[in-house]
């Protein structure tokens, strides 16, 4: 390794969808001779079991929760506890490295998850290091959080009544957020569509959105050709300090440390090898979504009725409280067409030629991975800004369908049949749209592309300040 140019502390929110892009960013920093210290909670550190090298050091801290706590199954408690235990541990690391007898330079900049904006300002002020905020959701999700005060002034949030969200007749558009005029109330991130403004997550994101203005830079895992108007609007408010550097997936290179908190079951790739081109629908709801027994059953029978080969990732904790139980007759009927894993090597699955569609919960990583693979989606969001992503997929980029919130086997069957039908005119258009976005995603990361240039700008700024 060439002489280390600088030392960065990377601090992701302790969830799979935040660790993945942070590790992708770590890989890019390493390739530019930046030494990385990657900070996980002890809980994730034990699951990932990564090994420190000369290029990347792993540190961890206790999150204060008991071992059997569901963690991402209770996001408010996870946020609260990390807010309490994260800052003293970041300070401990900064302190240790300042007066270190080990041969490691002090930290010169911290890339912290956007969620941690609420507490980063005090730390960097005390230690004189640069703070970069990394918003791992979409730019449209970030923009929605940032515009919470505006939505409050306009009387949209907090909502008056829970029913407003589910009421189909109340689908009027919220036109006040610039460049996000397709949104309905139900497309706002779920943390803000609550009835009480004192709600913990409401306040959390309200504060995070305000505090992140203080960061030296705000990075987003997106790109100009996808979210240009939203990014430009944000930049008028952040004085040009929002940099889209994605899709990191395409520019990160090979990641050699384990980043999966569940064990990937790669045998599904062999099964995919045996399927026809574009014939398989991949089904996954990410790392946090929880289904009811009824929803699981409706998805199962809908997939069965669609007559389409499917690969379904069913996490051990997909159904809260017990393992997923699929009916025996469903298993029997789908045995030649269905393949089940508990955790898939998702980006490899999506880019496999046999995969032609994705039934997703619209998490940002899943959405961008699908775009990078050119695979159109059926969107069934669970929470957070997934609802906002769904709307953009369906109405703005036109690369997928919204599925009604209430799961029924009939809806699943109809949408899967449509998504996988090569002769459907709307689908032809969607495939064209997503292939164009895929192409522009590739261009964005190449020399001279928008994300490439933004990455260079970020690195220049960090290395100059080091």
> Which of the stretches 13-21, 59-67, 160-168, 320-328 binds ligand UDP when contact is defined by CB under 6 A?
13-21
Q: Which of 44, 81, 308, 346 binds ligand UDP (CB under 6 A)?
A: 346
- Nearest distance in Å: CB 277, ligand UDP: 22
By CB under 6 A, the residues from 274 to 303 that bind ligand UDP are: 284, 286-288
Site string for ligand UDP, 253-272 (x = CB under 6 A): -------x------------
> Which of the stretches 15-23, 63-71, 296-304, 411-419 binds ligand UDP when contact is defined by CB under 6 A?
15-23
The two structure tokens encoding residue 342: 């508990």
20 contributes a contact to ligand UDP by CB under 6 A? yes
For ligand UDP, how many residues bind (rule: CB under 6 A)? 19
The Cα–Cα gap between 344 and 313 comes to: 6
Q: Which of 63, 113, 233, 394 is catalytic?
A: 113
The Cα–Cα gap between 177 and 147 comes to: 7
- Nearest distance in Å: CB 72, ligand UDP: 8
Map tokens 């790739």 to a residue.
269
Contact 350, 370 (CB under 8 A): yes
By CB under 6 A, the residues from 311 to 340 that bind ligand UDP are: 313
- Nearest distance in Å: CB 376, ligand UDP: 16
Q: Which of 138, 365, 450, 451 binds ligand UDP (CB under 6 A)?
A: 365
Find the Cα–Cα–Cα–Cα dihedral 160, 163, 164, 167, rounded to 10°. -170
How does DSSP assign 108-162, residue by residue? Answer: -EEEEEGGGHHHHHHHHHHHT-EEEEEE-S-HHHHHHHHTHHHHHHTT-SS-S-T
27 contributes a contact to ligand UDP by CB under 6 A? no
Decide: residue 419, CB within 10 A, 0-12 exposed, 13-18 middle, 19+ buried.
buried
- Cα dist from 56 to 52, 123, 175, 353, whole Å: 6, 22, 45, 34
- Nearest distance in Å: CB 104, ligand UDP: 30
Contact 70, 321 (CB under 8 A): no
Q: Which of 11, 61, 142, 364 binds ligand UDP (CB under 6 A)?
A: 364
**Contacts of 448 by beta carbon, 8 Å cutoff, 6+ apart:** none
> Which of the stretches 47-55, 86-94, 343-351, 410-418 binds ligand UDP when contact is defined by CB under 6 A?
343-351
Q: Which of 50, 338, 356, 363 binds ligand UDP (CB under 6 A)?
A: 363
The two structure tokens encoding residue 366: 């899943």
Q: Is 439 helix (H, G, I), strand (E, B) or coil?
A: helix
8 contributes a contact to ligand UDP by CB under 6 A? no
- Nearest distance in Å: CB 285, ligand UDP: 8
- What are the two backbone dihedrals, phi and then psi, of residue 202, each rounded to the nearest 5 degrees? -60, -50
Give every strand in the sheet of 400-402, ordered side by side. Answer: 338-341, 310-313, 280-284, 355-360, 377-379, 400-402
Phi-psi domain of 179 (left: phi exceeds 0; alpha: psi -120 through 50; beta: other): left
Nearer to ligand UDP, 289 or 308 (CB): 289
- Nearest distance in Å: CB 33, ligand UDP: 27
- Catalytic site residue 18? yes
- Catalytic site residue 113? yes
> Which of the stretches 114-122, 146-154, 174-182, 361-369 binds ligand UDP when contact is defined by CB under 6 A?
361-369
Q: Is 35 helix (H, G, I), strand (E, B) or coil?
A: strand
Nearer to ligand UDP, 235 or 351 (CB): 351
The Cα–Cα gap between 259 and 48 comes to: 6
- Nearest distance in Å: CB 60, ligand UDP: 20
By CB under 6 A, the residues from 216 to 235 that bind ligand UDP are: none
Q: Give me the residues that bind ligand UDP (CB under 6 A), please.
A: 15-17, 20, 260, 284, 286-288, 313, 343-344, 346-347, 363-366, 369
* Catalytic center residues: 18, 113
């Amino acid at each position: 390794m060439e002489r280390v140019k600088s030392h960065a502390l990377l601090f992701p929110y302790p969830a799979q969808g935040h660790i993945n892009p942070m590790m992708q960013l770590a890989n890019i920093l390493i390739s530019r001779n930046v030494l990385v210290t990657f900070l996980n909670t002890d809980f994730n550190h034990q699951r990932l079991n990564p090994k420190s090298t000369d290029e990347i050091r792993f540190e961890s801290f206790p999150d204060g929760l008991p071992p059997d706590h569901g963690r991402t199954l209770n996001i408010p408690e996870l946020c609260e506890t990390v807010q309490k235990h994260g800052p003293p541990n970041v300070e401990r690391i900064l302190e240790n490295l300042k007066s270190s007898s080990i041969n490691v330079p002090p930290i010169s900049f911290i890339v912290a998850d956007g969620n941690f904006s609420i507490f980063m300002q005090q730390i960097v002020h005390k230690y004189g290091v640069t703070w970069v905020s990394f918003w791992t959701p979409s730019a449209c999700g970030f923009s929605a959080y940032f515009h919470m005060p505006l939505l409050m002034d306009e009387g949209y949030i907090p909502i008056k009544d829970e029913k407003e969200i589910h009421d189909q007749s109340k689908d009027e558009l919220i036109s006040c957020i610039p460049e996000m005029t397709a949104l309905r109330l139900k497309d706002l991130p779920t943390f803000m569509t609550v009835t009480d403004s004192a709600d913990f997550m409401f306040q959390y994101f309200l504060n995070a959105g305000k505090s992140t203005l203080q960061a030296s830079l705000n990075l987003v895992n997106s790109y100009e050709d996808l979210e240009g108007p939203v990014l430009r609007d944000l930049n008028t408010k952040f004085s040009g300090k929002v940099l889209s550097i994605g899709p990191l997936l395409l520019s990160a290179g090979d990641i050699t440390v384990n980043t999966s908190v569940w064990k990937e079951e790669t045998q599904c790739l062999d099964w995919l090898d045996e399927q026809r081109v574009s014939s398989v629908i991949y089904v996954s709801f990410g790392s946090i979504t929880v289904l009811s027994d009824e929803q699981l059953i409706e998805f199962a029978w809908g997939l069965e009725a669609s007559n389409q080969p499917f690969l379904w990732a069913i996490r051990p904790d997909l159904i809260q409280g017990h393992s997923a139980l699929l009916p025996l007759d469903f298993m029997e009927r789908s045995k030649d067409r269905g393949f089940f894993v508990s955790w898939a090597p998702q980006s490899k699955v999506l880019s496999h030629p046999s995969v032609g569609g994705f039934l997703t919960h619209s998490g940002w990583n899943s959405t961008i991975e699908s775009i990078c693979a050119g695979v159109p989606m059926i969107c069934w969001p669970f929470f957070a800004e997934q609802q906002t992503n769904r709307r953009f997929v369906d109405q703005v980029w036109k690369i997928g369908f919204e599925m009604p919130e209430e799961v029924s086997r009939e809806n699943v069957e109809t949408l899967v049949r449509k998504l996988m039908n090569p002769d459907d005119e709307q689908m032809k258009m969607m495939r064209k749209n997503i292939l164009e976005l895929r192409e522009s995603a590739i261009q964005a990361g190449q020399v001279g592309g928008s994300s490439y240039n933004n990455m260079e700008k970020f690195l220049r700024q960090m290395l100059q300040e080091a």
